[in-house]
Amino acid sequence: MKKVFGRPKSMKDAVFHYCPGCGHSIIHRLIAEVIDELNIQGKVIGVPPAGCAVLAYDYFDIDMGEAPHGRGAAVATGLKRSLPDRIVFSYQGDGDIAAIGTAETIHAANRGERITTIFVNNGVYGMTGGQMAPTTIIGQISSTTPGGRNEDRDGVPIDLSEMLAIAKGSVYIERTAVDSPKNIVRTKKAITKAFKAQMAGLGFSLVEVLSPCPTNLKMTPVQASEWIGSTMTTYFPLKVIKDTAGKL
């Protein structure tokens, strides 16, 4: 019989610890498929975050080096500057990249580091139990915004990807989602292009992926995915935010 679906080569034979309906496992799989298709399993180095994806190295069958919370871009910079012909990516949550690690990320983009960042925006701090994230939307209830996020007190959801697009060193930034099969396919395309931009030595590339967190949104998996389309995308529209990479 012909095998039509299997585990990507770049994934270990391990069971995900992620909650039912969590987007991290889909995004992991997409990255592994892209690594396989680009045939770079032996050349890629990943930098997992502090966050729900902290154990990413248990799932990816590639070299991985842990970064402190938020410092993925700086660790990836060190790896890439040391090994310019390897493909280096960081995998970061919204709290990791857009709160504690904002400075490292903006400056890596501004220097045009030849690295790729997968920015998983689930609108909450997942790992620590559902506190407000920099990307939590106005009115959204979290464990630290019991009455909902309040613009005057908490500021508005931060547009980190748009900010990074201003940096001259960034070449490709796209916001996608994994809330539907169609968007999952688009996300994979975006990740492919982001890696290709790095491999072509063009500059900093990033894919922001809107990702469901049913556990902390206190929704069913289906509701959490629907919420991305109905609510989250009004703050974070899905689009190519910057593309100076051209056709790759």
Applying CB under 8 A, the residues found at the interface with another protein are 41-45, 47, 54-55, 57, 60-68, 71, 74-83, 86-87, 103-104, 106-107, 111
Which residues are registered as beta bridge partners of 207? 118, 174
Question: What number of other Cβ atoms are within 10 A of residue 172's Cβ?
Answer: 27
Question: In this chain, which stretch among 49-57, 72-80, 102-110, 191-199 interacts with ligand TPP, using CB under 6 A?
Answer: 49-57
Q: Does 126 bind ligand TPP (CB under 6 A)?
A: yes
DSSP 218: T
Least gap, CB of 219 to ligand TPP (angstroms): 15
Could you say which DSSP state residue 202 is in?
-
Q: Which two tokens stand for residue 206?
A: 């990033």
Angle formed by the axes of helices 23-38 and 181-199, to 10°? Answer: 50
In this complex, which beta carbon is closest to ligand TPP, that of residue 93 or of residue 157? 93
Measured between alpha carbons, how far is 199 from 201 in angstroms, rounded to an integer?
A: 5
CB of 209 to another protein, least distance (A): 23
Contact (Cβ atoms closer than 8 angstroms) between residue 85 and residue 43: yes
When the beta carbons of 21 and 203 are compared against ligand TPP, the nearer one is: 21
The two tokens of residue 90 are 């960081």
**Pairing of the two strands 170-177 and 87-93:** unpaired
Shortest separation between residue 145's beta carbon and another protein, angstroms:
27
Binding partner of residue 52 among another protein, ligand TPP, none, CB under 5 to 8 Å per kind?
ligand TPP
- Least CB distance to another protein at residue 1 (A): 30
- Closer to ligand TPP by Cβ: residue 91 or 204: 91
For the chain, report the end-to-end CA distance as a whole number of angstroms.
Answer: 35
Q: Are 32 and 44 contacting, i.e. CB atoms less than 8 angstroms apart?
A: no
Q: How far is the CB of 110 from ligand TPP (least distance, A)?
A: 21
Which of 25, 77, 105, 122 is the binder for ligand TPP (CB under 6 A)? 122
CB of 35 to ligand TPP, least distance (A): 20
Task: Give the one entry of ligand TPP, another protein, none that residue 160 binds, where binding means its C-beta sits below a cut-off of 5 to 8 angstroms depending on kind.
Answer: none
Give the DSSP letter string of 26-43. HHHHHHHHHHHHHT-TTT
Q: Which partner from the list another protein, ligand TPP, none does 95 bind, CB cut-off 5 to 8 Å by kind? A: ligand TPP
